[in-house]
Amino acid sequence: MWIPDIRTLFLILFLVNVVLTLMLFTFWKTQKTYHGVRTWVLSLLVTSCGYFLYLLEGAVPVLFASTVANLLIALSVMMRLDSTGRYFRSRTLPAIVYGALIPAAFLLFYFMICVDSVVMRGMIIGLLIVPCFIAISLIAIRSREPETRLIRYSFAMAFLVTALLWTAIVVNGLVTPGDHSLGGPDPINPVFFIVTILMDIVATGSFMMLNMARTQTELRQSEEQYRNLSDNLPDYILVHDRKIIRYANPAATRLMRPSRETLVGQPISSFLTGSGAEVFQEFSDGAPGGASPTPLREIAIQLQDGTTRYCMIKTVRIEEKGAPSFLSVITDITDRKLAEDTLSRVNKKLTILSSITRHDIKNQLMALSAYLELSGSSLDNIPEATEYLRKEREVADAIGRQIDFTRIYEDMGTTAPTWQNLDASVRRAVAALPIRDVGVEVDRKDLSIYGDPLFEKVFYNLIDNALKYGGDAMTKIHISCHETEKGLVITCEDNGIGIPSEDKQRLFERGFGKNTGLGLFLSREILSITGITITETGEPGKGARFEILVPKGAYRFTLS
């Protein structure tokens, strides 16, 4: 069996450490690494210099070649201990440990110049590096990283084996007489250096694998963290290539495909309206790379049930499994948009109301002023003056009704619309009315309507009108609902005398009716705040029938 000589082994050790230095340096510069990698790279470089000096033994003074090489090897081992502490504990090696090299240098010079003793020089180096090998192994073994247990044990074993062999060499030199120099005939030397070559490769390879394993662990934890965040966000998260959805968080899936388990693989155009698809394509084309998202844009999403949700969307280019993709974050603003639209409609209605009311009161005041003037000129004609006074009282009552109307109307639309349970609203209205022996039935207990807080007033007015004008024969008021292509139709019908045909056209006009003429007018205005309409479709003699059309998106079935 061929066993290489010591110089050949030193050459192999030198080349191996140079290769390991280059390999770890490349890994350090191209991959994510942690504390200690740079120190390990430097330790390999120092080790390479030490072995190179061993190779030069005979070509340079032995004092320089041997002593400096020994000190460099000891320094490299300390640097590996420093690197291990930085990696596992984020702690640097105290400077005093490196300071131990100074007295060691003096001792090495002494046992080379004054007393030439290979064994003593070996003991000095052993006292420096063997405790470092053991400390490195203990740090690795005691680390709390269960996912890297096998790699850590391999890493620790490489240093324990090296420490054991070095101890064996020192003990062998102490108990066995003979030439124990590195170039001597001692058979343990080749074995030691061959094992050292292997352990250097195992230690450095394990250190690289530890870095890679930690990177994978952190990546997995980061993915889990962001996946949990994405899965629990109320916003809709989509990863796509502008055509096909590659990932959708549960919120998006529940909204867009409630009957499916996933949106993955579905075309993204399947839930976009025509204008929404154009906007989506436009901002995807302009999405920047990196972390900067596109400006917020508004899009409309068409759900399976035909309802439309209004959303704000921002998109950024990302890499998904190596392929260029887009990450879109979609925020539902439907309720906010409904509130904004409602506010706009209310402001418009209040402006019109203010104008109409001001005009009506001014006309009444002009009439009152005229009657007062006529009254003043008719004081000697008692019947005529009395008639003028009666008309003045009527004008004053009309002005009072105008003022009462503005008081009622001022509350409409001042508070944001909310979801209100239909059955609960009807029950509160019934409780405030003299219901007599008339039964009021609601067929759905789980229906909620998105409307103005005065929504309850609508059914108060409808039931109040039925009680006033339905006749003594009326015994029931029934409220039901059914869905159509346009939305949900809520029907409020009674079995009273109904409404004459000639009154139907003017039924919802302001001022029409026997009393104030404001009840149905106000009901229509309250409903219109959230886009709800009301019509009367009953037949005279068979009872009144009011149909309230609630658009899609403004009703839902859920228990109050």
* Residues 465-516 pLDDT 10s: 888 888 888 889 999 999 998 899 999 999 888 888 887 777 777 666 565 4
Residues 261 and 396 in one domain: no
pLDDT at 560: 45
Burial class (CB in 10 A: 0-12, 13-18, 19+), 520: buried
pLDDT average, residue stretch 90-101: 91
Q: 289 pLDDT exceeds 70?
A: no
**Average pLDDT score over the chain:** 81
Residues 252 and 155 in one domain: no
pLDDT per position as a tens digit, 364-417: 777 778 777 777 777 777 787 777 788 778 778 777 766 766 665 666 656 677
Q: How far apart are CA 375 and CA 369, in angstroms?
A: 10
In a domain, 344, yes or no: yes
Residues 258 and 169 in one domain: no
Which of 126-130, 167-171, 378-382 is least confident?
Answer: 378-382
Q: 244 pLDDT exceeds 80?
A: yes
| Containing structural domain, residue 389 | 336-410
Residues 139 and 48 in one domain: yes
In a domain, 1, yes or no: no
What angle, rounded to 10 degrees, do the helices at 455-469 and 422-431 form?
Answer: 50
Share of the chain above pLDDT 70, in %: 83
**Contact in structure between 283 and 267 (CB atoms under 8 Å):** no
Q: 103 pLDDT exceeds 70?
A: yes
In the beta sheet, which residues pair with residue 376?
Answer: none
Residues 351 and 426 in one domain: no
Query: Which among 483, 467, 484, 489 has a CA at the least distance from the CA of 544?
Result: 467
Q: How far apart are CA 46 and CA 74, in angstroms?
A: 10
**Contact in structure between 53 and 69 (CB atoms under 8 Å):** yes
pLDDT average, residue stretch 58-82: 84
Residues 96 and 21 in one domain: yes
pLDDT average, residue stretch 301-308: 73
Residues 14 and 145 in one domain: yes
pLDDT at 292: 53
Q: How far apart are CA 324 and CA 340, in angstroms?
A: 38
Helix (H, G, I), strand (E, B), or coil: what is residue 428?
Answer: helix
Q: How far apart are CA 2 and CA 142, in angstroms?
A: 40
pLDDT at 283: 55
Q: 290 pLDDT exceeds 50?
A: no
Domain end point (choices 225, 256, 282): 225
pLDDT at 99: 92
Domain end point (choices 289, 317, 332): 332
More confident residue, 312 or 283: 312
More confident residue, 414 or 262: 262
Residues 88 and 237 in one domain: no
Residues 123 and 213 in one domain: yes
Within 10 angstroms of residue 201's Cβ, the number of other Cβ atoms is 15
pLDDT at 401: 66
In a domain, 554, yes or no: yes
In a domain, 175, yes or no: yes
pLDDT average, residue stretch 64-73: 85
Residues 187 and 75 in one domain: yes
pLDDT average, residue stretch 442-465: 87
pLDDT per position as a tens digit, 248-260: 888 887 777 665 5
Query: For the domain that residue 86 is a member of, what is the CATH number?
Result: 1.20.1070
Q: How far apart are CA 81 and CA 93, in angstroms?
A: 7
In a domain, 275, yes or no: yes
How many structural domains are present in the chain? 4
pLDDT per position as a tens digit, 513-550: 565 445 788 788 888 878 899 998 888 888 899 999 99
Residues 178 and 90 in one domain: yes
More confident residue, 331 or 368: 331
**Contact in structure between 454 and 411 (CB atoms under 8 Å):** yes
**Angle in degrees, CA 47, 52, 57, rounded to 5:** 130
Question: pLDDT confidence of 1, banded at 50, 70, 90?
Answer: very low
Residues 476 and 432 in one domain: yes
Neighbouring residues of 364: CB distance < 8 A, sequence distance ≥ 6:
395, 398, 399, 402
Domain end point (choices 410, 426, 444): 410
pLDDT at 281: 63
Q: How far apart are CA 314 and CA 235, in angstroms?
A: 11
In a domain, 462, yes or no: yes
pLDDT per position as a tens digit, 335-361: 888 777 767 766 766 665 666 566 567
In a domain, 237, yes or no: yes
pLDDT per position as a tens digit, 206-242: 999 999 999 988 888 888 887 888 778 788 888 888 7
**Residue 176: DSSP 8-state:** S
In a domain, 423, yes or no: yes
Query: For the domain that residue 274 is a member of, what is the CATH number?
Result: 3.30.450.20
pLDDT at 268: 75
